[in-house]
Structures are given as C-alpha cells and as structure tokens.
C-alpha cells in the first residue's frame, strides 16, 4: 500500500515539475516553433504523469476510469491542436528562425 | 501532497498566461491558451482528489473537450477573419 502511495506521489511531483519546466521553456525559447515544443512537453507528458499519479491514488474505481478517459482524449487531441497551430502559423507565413540564418 | 501539485500547476498556468500576454505573434497566444486550458483540466482533476468529490472529474473531461474545440474555432477565425460568410460565396479577398 505504501509503495503505491510513494509511486503516485513521485508521479504527481514529477508531473508538476515537468509542467513548470515546460512553462519556463515556453519563455526561454526564441521562436514560435521552438516554443511549440515546450508547450507540447507541458501538455502531454506532465498531464500523463499527473493523471497516472491520481489514478494510482484512486485505485480501480470509476474515478480511475474517468482519469483514463481524460488522458486518452488529451493524448489524441493535444498533438492535433499543436499541429493545427503550427500549420496555421506556417500557412500565414511565419518563418521558423532556422530559415533566417542561411 | 495534492496542494503541492496544485501549486505547481498554478505556476505553470501563470507562466503560460504570461507567455500569452507577451507572445509577439497571435499563434503564440493561441498555443499559450491551449496550454492554459489543458492545465485547467489537470487542476480540476487534482482538485477533485483534494476535495474528495469524484464527480468533478466529469467537469475536467468536458473542459478538455471544449478546450480542443475552442482551439480549432480560434484557429479558423484567425485564418478566415470571420465566421458568418460561408466559404462558397465569391467574396473579393
């Protein structure tokens, strides 16, 4: 029982830290497309860790199933959303920084 | 323990909001709003466990759905400039 609590506590804290690191990354990266990577980190992996930590806390109940549904939805739509933003930005002519140097 | 995660998520949300306010291009703002929305989903989920009321998870799920739809709607609005005109009428762009 203690092992599950420890594991879920570790998942929760690492998810929170990862989210913060990703958010800091969104400020430090120079260009929109690099910031999109940082946003992706906070969106998918820290969500997965936090929801996994909560699921471990909930055990095999309806709440854990709802958490799984939330994660499955986020897992499929977050990449789609960031792809849509990057695609719209590219179509609007927002050049990535790499293009400017050469 | 949950409070620590709540604080971490709030810090992430404030940083994403700061990026949305400072973001030079409109697409930075949209991406930051997307991160903000996803973090709200997580905040509601963690708060559900903090307060012990498990029916909050449904709200988190609905929020995740609406967040994605609003992302696509804002992108479409930014791309076409408005919603009311149907794409097939010939309008001098």
- How far apart CA B46 and CA A13 sit, in angstroms, is 12
CB A47 within 8 A of CB A71: yes
- Which pLDDT score, from 0 to 100, does residue B87 have? 60
| All structural domains of chain A with their residue ranges | 2-95
Residues of A with Cβ-Cβ distance to B7 under 8 angstroms: 16
- Which pLDDT score, from 0 to 100, does residue B66 have? 93
CB contact under 8 A, A73 and B2: no
Give the distance, in angstroms, between the CA of residue A4 and the centroid of all CA atoms in the same chain.
23
Q: Name the E strands within chain A.
A: none
pLDDT along chain B (93 residues), means of 10: 89 90 86 90 91 89 92 86 65 55
Q: Mean pLDDT throughout A5-19?
A: 90
- How far apart CA A27 and CA A13 sit, in angstroms, is 22
Torsion of CA A46, A26, B29, A47, to 10 degrees: 0
CB A99 within 8 A of CB A32: no
- Which pLDDT score, from 0 to 100, does residue B53 have? 86
Give the distance, in angstroms, between the CA of residue B39 and the centroid of all CA atoms in the same chain.
8
- Which pLDDT score, from 0 to 100, does residue A101 have? 59
Mutation site for B-interface testing, chosen from A66, A91, A94, A95 by largest number of B Cβ within 10 Å: A66
CB contact under 8 A, B41 and A13: no
- How far apart CA A29 and CA A20 sit, in angstroms, is 14
Structure tokens at A44: 């998918």
CB B32 within 8 A of CB A39: yes
B3 touches chain A (CB under 8 A): no
Q: Mean pLDDT throughout A10-21?
A: 90
pLDDT in tens, A32-82: 888 888 888 788 888 899 999 999 888 888 889 999 999 999 888 888 888
CB contact under 8 A, A12 and B60: no
- How far apart CA B27 and CA B30 sit, in angstroms, is 5
CB contact under 8 A, A26 and B32: yes
Choose among A71, A42, A45: nearest CA to B32.
A42
Indicate if the pLDDT at residue A99 is higher than 80.
no
CB contact under 8 A, B61 and A13: no
Mutation site for A-interface testing, chosen from B14, B38, B46, B58 by largest number of A Cβ within 10 Å: B38
């Amino acid at each position: 029982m203690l092992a599950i609590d420890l594991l879920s506590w570790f998942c929760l804290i690492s998810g929170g830290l990862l989210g913060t690191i990703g958010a800091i990354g969104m400020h430090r990266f120079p260009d929109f497309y690099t910031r999109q990577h940082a946003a992706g980190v906070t969106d998918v992996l820290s969500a997965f860790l936090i929801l996994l930590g909560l699921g471990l806390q909930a055990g095999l109940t309806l709440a854990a199933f709802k958490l799984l549904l939330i994660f499955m939805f986020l897992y499929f739509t977050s990449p789609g959303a960031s792809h849509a933003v990057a695609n719209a930005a590219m179509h609007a002519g927002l050049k990535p920084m790499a293009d400017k140097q050469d | 323990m949950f409070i620590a995660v709540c604080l971490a998520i709030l810090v992430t949300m404030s940083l994403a909001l700061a990026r949305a306010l400072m973001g030079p291009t409109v697409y930075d703002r949209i991406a930051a709003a997307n991160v903000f929305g996803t973090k709200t989903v997580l905040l509601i989920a963690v708060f559900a466990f903090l307060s012990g009321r498990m029916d909050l998870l449904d709200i988190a799920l609905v929020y995740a759905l609406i967040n994605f739809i609003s992302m696509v709607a804002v992108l479409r609005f930014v791309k076409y400039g408005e919603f009311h005109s149907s794409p097939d009428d010939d309008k001098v762009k």
